[in-house]
Structure formats: C-alpha cells, structure tokens
C-alpha cells in the first residue's frame, strides 16, 4: 500500500466520526451504555433487554461506590456472576457510574406494575413484578432465595426472604420494607457492609408495599424444611 494512503484513510475516518464531544458525564455514560452492549442484557425504562437485572432504579438501591466496584471487576464481588468484565478505562467507568447512579426510576413512562394488565392481577403477582422491577431481586435473588454476596455481614451473604412469615407479621414486614435497614457489621474493624436495605417508603406507596408483602408470603412454602434452592436459581 502507498505509505500515504493509510494515514489519509485514518484522517478521513476520524473526520466522518459522529462522536461530538459530550460534556455531561451522564450523557457520555448513556452513550457508552448503549454502545458497549450493556443493553443486550439490561433494561432501563422501556429500552434494552431484561436478561440481567432491570437497572431503571439502580441509583436508588445501590451506592456509587458499589456500582464503581462492580464495574471494575464483577467477579471480585461475585465469582459466580455471568456479567462480563469490560476492562473499562477509569474515565469510561466514571461516566457509566454517573449515568447509572442517576437512574432512580424516572425512565419508566409507565411503571411495569401499573399497566392495566398488571393492575388486574392478584396483589401477590403484582408484588412479584415490583420485586423484580425495582430490584429487590438484585440483592435477595430470584424468588427471595438470597445468596448474593455482601461484605462484612454474618455469612457474607444478603439474607434469604423465604422464611419471613416465621419472623414477621404482615404489618411488621410492611414496616421493615418501608423503613429499610442498615445491616449490623459482623466485624467492627472491617469496612461497613456496602449493600444496605433501602428505605423503600421513599419510592413505593402503601399499596405497592402491601403487594410486595403478599408476594413474600407466597414464598414461605418453598422454604419448608428440606426445600433448598438450587444453585441455578442465582
């Protein structure tokens, strides 16, 4: 190849590139979220695919510090995760963290549990949609089995919810979900637990919390003695 053609081609390509410089980290993060293919597995609002957790409310349930750590190396937090490590540069990761932390549910035109179809369902089934959409599932796992890692808590895992009927009346469960809880660290000399039970009363109304309570109550039979979750469940 003529030694000038290659650089000339590169220049031409650079000139055609539609990358206008975005000054807002949130906008850059959104561009990269779409460009890197995160949307193949994740949904934000009505866009993307719900193969992995729905991220529409990620910024409410997870801290910036946790999101940053997760994107840096998902397997360091959860060795079993199927989420790939994208080996992101620090600047690109910071933009994604800015975009994802800003996701507090505003991207839903219609919340998935308030559609006409969902409204006609029994409360427990509507509660299941809430559980999965707002992301209880991202900490307590599918059907509340628990098992996702958390640092510095007894057992090193977020607790299972399959036996809450044994410890809580419906009213107590409602209050717990509404008010949230900071887990008690198992070792005071180590960093505080990064996953905390959010104060859902800031995001869900009384009826929505009641529906979630009804759903959690349906989980109890699966936690019956001897019934162990399979490893494929999370």
Residues at the contact surface with ligand HEC, assessed by CB under 6 A: 33, 36-38, 40-42, 51-53, 58, 61-62, 67, 70-71, 81-84, 86, 96, 100, 131, 134-136, 138-140, 150, 158-159, 161, 164, 167, 173, 176-177, 181, 183-184, 195-198, 200, 212
Closest to ligand HEC by CB, 9 vs 108, is: 108
Shortest distance (Å) from residue 173 CB to ligand HEC: 6
Shortest distance (Å) from residue 213 CB to ligand HEC: 8
Shortest distance (Å) from residue 2 CB to ligand HEC: 39
**What pairs with residue 157 in β-bridges?**
149
Closest to ligand HEC by CB, 12 vs 221, is: 221
Closest to ligand HEC by CB, 75 vs 228, is: 75
> What whole-number distance in Å separates Cα of residue 162 and Cα of residue 145?
6
Shortest distance (Å) from residue 16 CB to ligand HEC: 25
Q: Which residues of 110-125 are buried (b: 16+ CB within 10 A; e: fewer)?
A: ebbbeeeebeeeebbe
Closest to ligand HEC by CB, 9 vs 169, is: 169
Closest to ligand HEC by CB, 8 vs 76, is: 76
> What whole-number distance in Å separates Cα of residue 76 and Cα of residue 173?
32
> What whole-number distance in Å separates Cα of residue 120 and Cα of residue 182?
35
Residue 181 main-chain phi, psi, to 5 deg: -165, 135
User: Are 62 and 49 in contact, with CB atoms under 8 Å apart?
Assistant: no
Closest to ligand HEC by CB, 113 vs 131, is: 131
- The alpha carbon of residue 178 and the mean position of all alpha carbons in its chain are separated, in whole angstroms, by 18
Shortest distance (Å) from residue 99 CB to ligand HEC: 8
Q: What is the DSSP string of 168-189?
A: --HHHHHHHHHH-BPPPPS-TT
Shortest distance (Å) from residue 165 CB to ligand HEC: 10
Closest to ligand HEC by CB, 88 vs 121, is: 88
Shortest distance (Å) from residue 161 CB to ligand HEC: 5
Q: What is the DSSP string of 32-86?
A: HHHHTTGGGT-EETTEE-TTS---TTHHHHS-HHHHHHHHH-HHHH-TT--SPP-
Strand-pair category, 43-44 with 47-48:
antiparallel
> What whole-number distance in Å separates Cα of residue 153 and Cα of residue 24?
37
């Amino acid at each position: 190849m003529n030694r000038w053609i290659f650089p000339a081609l590169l220049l031409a390509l650079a000139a055609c590139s539609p990358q206008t410089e975005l000054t807002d980290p949130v906008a850059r993060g959104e561009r990269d979220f779409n460009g890197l293919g995160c949307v193949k597995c994740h949904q934000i609002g009505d866009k993307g695919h719900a193969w992995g957790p729905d991220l529409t409310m990620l910024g409410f349930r997870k801290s910036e510090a946790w999101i940053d750590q997760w994107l840096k190396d998902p397997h360091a937090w959860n060795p079993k995760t199927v989420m790939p490590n994208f080996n992101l540069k620090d600047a690109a990761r910071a933009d994604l963290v800015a975009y994802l932390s800003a996701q507090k549910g505003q991207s839903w035109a219609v919340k998935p549990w308030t559609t006409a179809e969902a409204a006609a369902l029994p409360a427990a089934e509507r509660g299941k949609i809430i559980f999965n959409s707002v992301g209880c599932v991202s900490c307590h796992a599918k059907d509340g089995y628990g098992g996702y890692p958390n640092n510095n808590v007894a057992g090193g895992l977020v607790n299972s919810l399959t036996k809450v009927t044994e410890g809580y009346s419906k009213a107590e469960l409602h209050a717990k979900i509404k008010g949230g809880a900071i887990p008690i660290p198992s070792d005071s000399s180590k960093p505080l637990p990064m996953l905390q039970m959010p104060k859902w009363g800031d995001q869900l109304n009384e009826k929505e919390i009641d529906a979630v309570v009804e759903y959690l109550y349906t989980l109890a039979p699966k936690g019956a003695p001897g019934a162990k979750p399979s490893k494929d469940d999370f």
